[in-house]
Amino acid sequence: MTEDAASAVNAQMSENTEKPLRLVIDDSARDTSAKLWYALPDGYVDVPLEALDPDPGTEHEEQFMNVMSLILSCVPEEQRDRYVGALRDMRFMVAQMRSEGVIGCSLGMHFADDGSSALSVVTVALRDIEWASPKLIAVRAVSLRETATNVELLTLPGGRPGSFCDTLVTVPAVAGMSAQDLYQCDVYIPAPSGAQLAVLALSTTAVSARGHYRDLMKGIAHTVAFHNPLPDIERTVRGDEHDGSSGIKDSITADFG
């Protein structure tokens, strides 16, 4: 996962409260330099943005160049220019994402109701903004969208504000691909300080499953934290909480990793 993001979490309600709790914590979830934590369900794989757009002179850059040389050495001579162009475009796209504050990108594959594959992309960005009250930030962020439907204000754990919107757009035809519909969903979560904004975005061509993805993104929004949530989770698992939240340990399965 990216440096500033926690590892994926799978939280699943269980009808059987006797089911043993399973908690696996990945090392990246304890990253002391992290600025944002969030959870994704099973089926998502992290895209290593830092490795795909390495800083000059770093170990990642050396590894990147070695991998690219290996790939190009396996490509037929007549196709090499096309591969070089694709790799250049990929690196430019990742650099553009990072310049816009994207700290996490994950690719998801799930099965739709008809048995077909449903692909989706989730990005997480953390942006510095001019100070305002968190509730005002949440309202302002969603109101600035030009094309959005199902606009909704969210109340997140701890009474924190957030906002949500989604839309359906048609992507024009490009070389080798016909025009297709694309479902986009965005969640905005202000930091308690009022000086940062987390933006979670999902895109998928599985427009028939947009209701599922809408609920999925709202669920992810409830896991976003601007402080390390692991101590609270560990206390809950041990049953140290006495405010009613300890019941969580009997009804969820959470996986970090």
Give dist(CA 71, CA 190) in Å, integer.
42
5 falls within a domain = no
- Provide the pLDDT for residue 213: 93
Of the chain, the percentage scoring pLDDT greater than 70 comes to: 80
Model pLDDT, residue 228: 84
In a domain, residue 74? The reply is yes
pLDDT value for 82? 86
- All residues at 6 or more sequence positions from 45 whose CB lies less than 8 Å from its CB, including other chains: 106, 107, 108
State the residue range of the domain holding 227. Answer: 21-255
Say which residue, 82 or 127, is predicted with more confidence.
127
Region 24-50 average pLDDT: 80
Q: What angle do CA 254, 117, 199 make, to 5 degrees?
A: 55
Mean pLDDT value of segment 226-249: 64
Residue of higher predicted confidence among 25 and 231: 231
Q: 183 in a domain, yes or no?
A: yes
Indicate whether 46 belongs to any domain: yes
The Cβ of residue 243 has, within 10 Å, a number of other Cβ atoms equal to: 5
Condensed to tens digits (0 to 9), the pLDDT of residues 95-140 reads 999 999 999 999 998 877 777 788 999 999 999 999 999 999 999 9
Task: Summarize the confidence of residues 171-184 as an average pLDDT.
Answer: 81
Mean pLDDT, rounded, for 6-18:
39
In a domain, residue 15? The reply is no
| Amino acid found at 25 | I
Does position 146 have pLDDT exceeding 80, yes or no? Answer: no
The total number of structural domains that make up the chain: 1
Structure pTM? 0.76
Residue 43 lies in a domain: yes
- Residue 6 included in any domain: no
Residue 47 lies in a domain: yes
Question: 84, exposed or middle or buried, with CB in 10 Å at 0-12, 13-18, 19+?
Answer: middle
CB atoms within 10 A of CB 191: 21
> For residues 188 and 45, which has the higher predicted lDDT (pLDDT)?
188
Q: What is the distance, to the nearest Å, from the Cα of residue 8 to the centroid of all Cα atoms in its chain?
A: 9
C-alpha dihedral sign at 217, 222, 226, 229: negative
CA distance 162 to 136: 10
